[in-house]
Structure 1
Amino acid sequence: MQEQELLYLLMLHKMPGIGHINAKKLLQHFGSATALFQASTNDLKELDGIGSKRIKTLRDSAITKEAEDELNFIQSNNIKLSYFKDEDYPSRLKQCIDSPILLFSRGNINLKNKPVLSIVGTRQVTTHGIAFCEQLIEDLAPLNPVIVSGLAYGTDIVAHRAAIKFNLQTIACVAHGLNQIYPKVHQKYVSSIENNGGFFTDFCSDDTFDRNNFLSRNRIIAGLSEATIVIESAEKGGSLVTADIAHSYDREVFAVPGRPQDKFSKGCNMLIKQQKAQMITSAADLVYNLNWDIDTKKKNTQTQLFISLTDDEKLVVQKLTEIGKAEIDALSLVCGLPTHKLSSILLNLELGGLVRPLPGKQFEII
């Protein structure tokens, strides 16, 4: 992209009162940002909804100076800028009507042909929520998903850390420009996140940080992913907003159920009750409901895999071989294993090409 067009796109991106939906309409009408800003006042007046105030903003030299400063910042700090019409713009985010016309990123992000999951939840995550989040990511690690979250306290940073621990890409979507980190205490994770993924934002470096920015940030978290998982939430909270946005994008939403009296289970239970989210109790639920394909080539190594199975995994294979297909609760009784542990075992066996899921949460030997 030519530098002049990039400068004009930054000017449009920074213009107050336009918004990403109207910006896309203007770009569609004129064909480019350069043509838009070089259009005559009479041509601009013919457009519905632009008005004299916005035309004046288009001519504002202060906006030009801000865009020039931002371009210098981008070029001096190894920031990547993705235009929503470019091939390297995240494909799922591109499908969202209010996706940003420009997306700023830094790090080593690669979303091509990869499953992408968003994990969100309360900032006051409980020990149960931490354990569930970490176990979920560990169990999903063989599928190599990209884990997206918001770098906030609590659930977000637990998800980022777990992804790094299991050598998965993780993307932190932030509510500010890439010249700062919020919260500052999470500065210590920046290097690890960039080495294992990176950062996304649609805020410029001179945008004033404001808590209202979180709503804009949340739509990117939801838009990047094929599914959003809510680990824990009170009756109100940012993670419920993200879930609502994901639901409005017609993306899958999952919520971890909990006891009705638990404060940070009420939001998840409500999402399930309102049928905005499916219940998730293990990684196997996610794999089954998203209909993720397991690599069939692994079937050729079943003999070698069986030798390396744990005793519990061998027990499950033996019982399924004896009784044929079985529903997970019945299999739990036959094997004498708790359901949550059995779900993890079945996922590992499925990844190894030894078992396959069937409708009704049943499984059988391949």
Structure 2
Amino acid sequence: MDEKKYWVGFNLIKGIGAVRMQGLVAYFGDLESAWAASPAELAAAGLGSKLIERVIQARAGVDLDKVWERIEQQGIKILTWQDEAYPQRLKEIDQPPPVLYLRGEYLPDDLFAVAIVGTRRVTPYGRQITEELSAFLAAHGITVVSGLARGVDAIAHQAALKAGGRTLAVLGSGVDKIYPPEHRALAEQIMAHGALLSDYAPGTPPDASNFPPRNRIISGLSLAVVVVEAGETSGALITAEFAAEQGREVFAVPGSILAPQSKGTNKLIQNGALPLLSVNDLMQALDLTRVGEHKAARKIMPGDPTEAQLLSVIGSEPLHVDEIRNQSGLPIEKVSAALALMELKGMVRQVGGMQYVAVREERADYNVNTLNGE
């Protein structure tokens, strides 16, 4: 049975977080052994009597096989510290969540991510800023991270999707419990072009106490956090605080000193957050000007040995398919099939008469003068 079910098992036990999970892995070598350990062994691993009692109760009352079966039936993926696919940036924070539940797909390119957060009671000004910022980032290869809440969060997700980009939503509930319920359709779109993530087990209902801790995941996944609008007690300020603790840049959009929704953002700026006066401030501060080039280069990299072999033959001068076959030494049917796929990927281009050239240009997707109208 998959070792991950034991990660889920311990994740269900209140009081066992990152530190104790790390201690169990260090002591037992794996969590399967820890799950089967005696009370004396658990005590030797550093668990107190109350936690040992909870472990014993969980082993008696939780059918991990059934839990795992339900997770698989719902199409939920499990990522642990031990998985290469676990978000690298999140792994760098202090006490990262041992288990992440995911619906959708987290991609390596999601390493380039910016969180956009703010008030649920967004103003027209805040809406415009959120839409323009999120759309620009998404269109230029930056993944937009937020929390699926009403207001700024939802607008950020929607704008990223509309721009054809990727977006990640971090929930304060299980990934099967969408909150608010009116965002179920939006959640489906996010799963198709990004992912829903949570460190709360499936079935966990939304609770007010869950949302502050999830904010540290929002900031942990991101290079920076942008607070668009926030009142003096907004949860977005908690995200900004976590971001600062994690060494992330914090940006705040300045607003009217008379607007309640800007009191929190203006105070952030007063306390040292970077004022976001244009998207250029963000792109330059984070050195994101090269992300478009990075992703464009990745797209033309060969995906298998056949493609690599053909790219070693095809250059900037047109080459007939028969000559490609001769120089590569591959069967014509294999060459033809691979060329068709490579053309779809943008790796080669047919220039007529069954002749092909390699596509090797690298273009910058971002120009610092874009928003200035220059």
Alpha-carbon contact 1:14-1:63 (below 8 Å) kept: no
Q: Is contact 1:109–1:169 with CA below 8 Å preserved after alignment? A: no
SS across alignment from 1:128: helix
Deviations 1:204-228 (A, max 9, x none): 1232431111012211111111111
The answer as to 2:126 corresponding to 1:129 is yes
Q: Distance in 2 between matches of 1:51 and 1:354?
A: 57
Distance 2:63 2:234 in 1: 34
Equivalent AA in structure 1 for residue 183 of structure 2: H
Say whether residues 1:190 and 2:165 are aligned partners: no
Q: Distance in 1 between matches of 2:42 and 2:180?
A: 42
Corresponding residue to 1:45 among 31, 43, 46: 43
- 1:294 pairs with one of 274, 290, 308: 290
TM superposition shift of 1:124? 0.3
Contact persistence 1:178–1:205 (CA under 8 A): yes
**Residue of 146, 150, 153 corresponding to 1:149:** 146
How far off its partner does 1:68 sit?
Answer: 3.5
TM-score w.r.t. the length of structure 2 is: 0.75
User: What is the Cα deviation at residue 296 of structure 1?
Assistant: 9.7
- 1:230-249 aligned at under 5 Å gives the runs 230-249=227-246
Matches within 5 A, 1:211-250: 211-250=208-247
Question: What TM-score results when the alignment is normalised by the length of structure 1?
Answer: 0.77
Q: Give 1:351 deviation, angstroms.
A: 4.9
Where structure 1 has 5 or more consecutive residues not aligned to the other structure, the ranges are: 299-349, 358-362
Please report how far the alpha carbon of residue 53 of structure 1 lies from its aligned counterpart in structure 2 after TM superposition.
Answer: 1.9
Q: Is the 1:70–1:205 Cα contact (8 Å) retained in structure 2?
A: no
Please tell me whether the aligned partners of residues 90 and 221 of structure 2 are also in contact (alpha carbons under 8 angstroms).
yes
Aligned pairs for 1:195-344 (under 5 A) are 195-275=192-272, 277-294=273-290
Q: Secondary structure at the match of 2:8?
A: helix
- Kindly state the Cα deviation for residue 114 of structure 1 after the two structures are TM-superposed: 4.4
Indicate which of 177, 182, 185 corresponds to 1:180.
Answer: 177
Which letter does structure 1 place at the counterpart of 2:223? E
Shift of the 295–189 alpha-carbon distance from structure 1 to 2, 3 Å rule, reads closer
Deviations 1:240-288 (A, max 9, x none): 001101111111111001122211111111111111x211111100011
Counterpart residue number, 1:324: none
SS at match of 1:199: strand
SS in 2 for 1:212: helix
Contact 2:110 2:143 in 1 (8 A): no
Q: Distance in 1 between matches of 2:34 and 2:85?
A: 24
Measure how far apart 1:9 and its partner are: 1.2
Structure 1 residues 187, 297: closer, same or farther in 2, change over 3 A?
closer
Q: For 1:63-74, list aligned pairs within 5 A.
A: 65=62, 67-74=64-71
Q: CA deviation at 1:34?
A: 1.3
The one-letter amino acid paired with 1:52 is S
Aligned AA (1:19) = G
Give the drift of 1:141. Answer: 3.7
| Aligned position for 2:317 | none
Pair 35,137 (structure 1): closer, same or farther in 2 beyond 3 Å: same
Higher mean displacement: 139-148 or 224-233: 139-148
| 2:165 matches 1:168 | yes
The one-letter code sitting in structure 2 at the alignment partner of 1:214 is F
1:108-146 deviations in whole A, cap 9, x for unaligned? 332436410110000001000010111112333442111
In structure 2, the CA distance between the partners of 1:141 and 1:207, relative to structure 1 (3 Å rule), is closer
Measured in 2, the distance between the counterparts of 1:77 and 1:158 equals 27
Read off the aligned partner of 1:282 and give its amino acid letter.
S
1:98 aligns with 95
Closer, same or farther: CA 356–128 of 1 in aligned 2, 3 Å: closer
Partner Cα distance (2:56, 2:203) in 1: 20
Secondary structure of 1:112 counterpart: helix
Give 3-state SS (helix, strand or coil) of 1:200's partner.
Answer: strand
Contact kept in structure 2, 1:120 and 1:231, CA below 8 Å: yes
SS in 2 for 1:82: strand
Q: Identical aligned pairs, as a percentage?
A: 34
1:37: how far off? 2.1
Q: Measure the CA separation in 1 of the matches of 2:292 and 2:90.
A: 30
User: Is residue 52 of structure 2 the alignment partner of residue 55 of structure 1?
Assistant: yes
- Hey, what does 1:342 align to over in structure 2? none
**Kept after mapping to 2: 8 A contact 1:234/1:264:** yes
User: 1:28 is matched with which residue?
Assistant: 26
Structure 2: unaligned runs, 5 residues or longer: 295-362
What is the match of residue 105 of structure 2?
A: 108
State the aligned residue count. 304
Q: Are the equivalent residues in 1 in contact too, given 2:8–2:201 (CA < 8 A)? A: no
